[in-house]
Amino acid sequence: MTYGVKLHVTGDFACFTRPEMKVERVSYDVMTPSAARGILEAIHWKPAIRWIVTTINVLKPIRFQSIRRNEVGHKVPAVSIKRAMNSGSLADLALFVEEDRQQRAATVLVDVAYVIEARFEMTPKASAEDNEGKHLDTFKRRARKGQCFHQPCLGTREFPARFRLVEAGEAICAPIKETRSLGFMLYDIDHERDRASLFFRAKLQDGVLQVPSPDSAQIRR
Amino acid sequence: MTTVSHRFDFVLLFDVTNGNPNGDPDAGNLPRLDPETSHGLVTDVCIKRKIRNYAEIAKHGQPGYAIYVEEGAILNEKHREAYNAVRLDDRKVSKGDGKLNPRDTLELNKLRDFMCANFFDVRTFGAVMSTGVNCGQVRGPVQLSFAQSIEPVVPLELSITRMAATNEADKKQKEGTSDDRRTENRTMGRKHIVPYGLYRAHGFVSANLAERTGFSETDIAFLWEALRNMFEHDRSAARGEMATRKLVAFEHDNALGRAPAHDLFALVVVQRKNGIEAYDIDDHRLDNLPPARRFADYRVTIKRDSVPDGVIIHELL
């Protein structure tokens, strides 16, 4: 059992997209455990460890805003890359914005601040020189200095996250006074089993979202 | 070619004079506004489009600098001989549910490397490939945030007229309304402008992701060039006058970085000028000042003395 870490993250915008509203994106009211894990992994991660988010504290009122943007409707088809590789010509390997334009609105969160509480476990990939203390220290050292593998983001990459480590015993500002059910929320993506979505019943209790542990019966598979 | 091995965080300041920097499709193409603060917004994708367009102009036809997400048609589009030559292969792989997955990770990596090596925008911003293996995502090293105006902007709506009608019906409608032949066919239009706005965007370059996509030292030099010059080749009736005014990059001496990005961004301070004095943006004395109408109404300072160890400031413009 390792000691947990606390990370304070803030940003001007955030979009934790609901899986049922992906096209015209609508954000969840609160950061999902999966997004929180992504932020921690952007700072420090190795295959030897697995981050487990335990609590998400919401420090600012939940507010939304709508933004509509021109987006491209398609992804890159692998087969056309193969074709270009074989024929040695890039001529057919372009995506024309005008022919493939979609205007999509996104309902995003504005001015957010959270404190993520998390711990990590060792995975079967851990070797002899991997120990919990080492990874814990590495994470803390990086978070203190503002170091990261890549700049963490709040749901999508256009919304960068500012982060700082909350030291042991440091007082954080109180979470918002809000208690309500958030309904079913995405817990994480199960990368072991064909990337299935896992859900749990999220509840905000005085601005605090308690996240069940990965093996808990509360997680719907 | 060496990939970028240091982390960068950068601040981009650009301004618009009597133009619309980024229209909002939700609001009849009005300049984008944050409805709560009236600050102007320019989306990240808007800036990325301009970088891509600049790359297309500046590096036209150079190997390794093709643009995947293109605007408009290619003029020198090849005939589809090459396409037909591999059609047989195409039929073979298009069996199944129409979704195509590479056979294994090795092949997936080959596809990714090919895309990164040939396309500047894939190497820089990344791309999503619908390959079904781990989403086949290329995460690009360069990340851009929304640009926000330093102060609230008040967009103007201008009515404009045209001395011609679009079609016969338009003309018929107007017939007999005026005894002047010249104004009989006149139609009205609308234009939205921001009289003046100074916008600030933040960006990030991750050395760790640069290593994966092969984003090189040459590429980052070209990225700075594109950020400096992208508005020079983006003139149009809607844009008015736009210009990059300041580009400051913070280079850390390692891949992980030496300081939080937000601390570094705070070293670039924009203030409003009044004569020889400069006020902070939240200073109440600004309330009685006339609105800013040119870049000279602002003062940009870089607090060089409080830069953390291991961080170098590059004032690229």
Please write the tens of the pLDDT for every residue from B72-89. Answer: 644 334 333 333 333 344
B16 vs B139, which has greater pLDDT? B16
User: Residue B286 above 50 pLDDT?
Assistant: yes
Whether chain B has a CB inside 8 Å of the CB on A158: the answer is yes
How high is the pLDDT of residue B228? 97
Distance CA B162, CA B174 (A): 13
Residues of B with CB below 8 A from A97's CB?
A: 49, 69-71
Among the ranges given (B9-23, B114-128, B163-177), the one the predictor scored with the smallest mean pLDDT: B163-177
How high is the pLDDT of residue B77? 41
The CA distance from B287 to the nearest CA of chain A, in Å, is: 24
Helix, strand counts (H, E) of chain B: 9, 16
Whether chain B has a CB inside 8 Å of the CB on A12: the answer is yes
CA A199 to each of CA A21, A108, A186: distance values in angstroms, whole numbers, following the listed order = 15, 21, 4
Confidence of residue B95 (pLDDT cuts 50, 70, 90): very low
Contact in structure between B35 and B276 (CB atoms under 8 Å): no
How high is the pLDDT of residue B88? 41
Torsion of CA A86, A92, A94, A97, to 10 degrees: -160
Tell me, what amino acid is at B214?
G
Q: What is the CA radius of gyration of chain B?
A: 24
Strands B23-24 and A95-96 come out as unpaired
**CB spacing of A146 vs B261 below 8 angstroms:** yes
Distance CA A36, CA A161 (A): 11
Contact in structure between B202 and B270 (CB atoms under 8 Å): no
The CA distance from A213 to the nearest CA of chain B, in Å, is: 24
How high is the pLDDT of residue B174? 66
**CB spacing of A95 vs B69 below 8 angstroms:** yes
**CB spacing of A94 vs B24 below 8 angstroms:** no
Q: Tokens representing A80?
A: 């056309």
Confidence of residue B100 (pLDDT cuts 50, 70, 90): very low
Contacts of A198 (CB under 8 A, 6+ apart): A186, A187, A188, A189, A190, A219, A220, A221
Q: What is the mean pLDDT of residues B178-200?
A: 83
Contacts of B49 (CB under 8 A, 6+ apart): A97, B71
Q: Tokens representing A208?
A: 């605090």
What is the reported pTM?
0.86
Closest CA to A10 of A110, A109, A108, A113: A113
**CB spacing of A94 vs B74 below 8 angstroms:** yes
Interface of B with A in 144-183 (CB under 8 A): 144-146, 148
Interface of A with B in 72-111 (CB under 8 A): 72, 75-79, 81-98, 103, 105, 110
How high is the pLDDT of residue B264? 97
Q: Tokens representing B245?
A: 């005014």
The CA distance from A67 to the nearest CA of chain B, in Å, is: 8
Interface of A with B in 30-59 (CB under 8 A): none
How high is the pLDDT of residue B91? 44
User: Residue B60 above 80 pLDDT?
Assistant: yes
Distance CA B232, CA B212 (A): 32
Residues in chain A predicted with pLDDT less than 50, given as ranges, are none
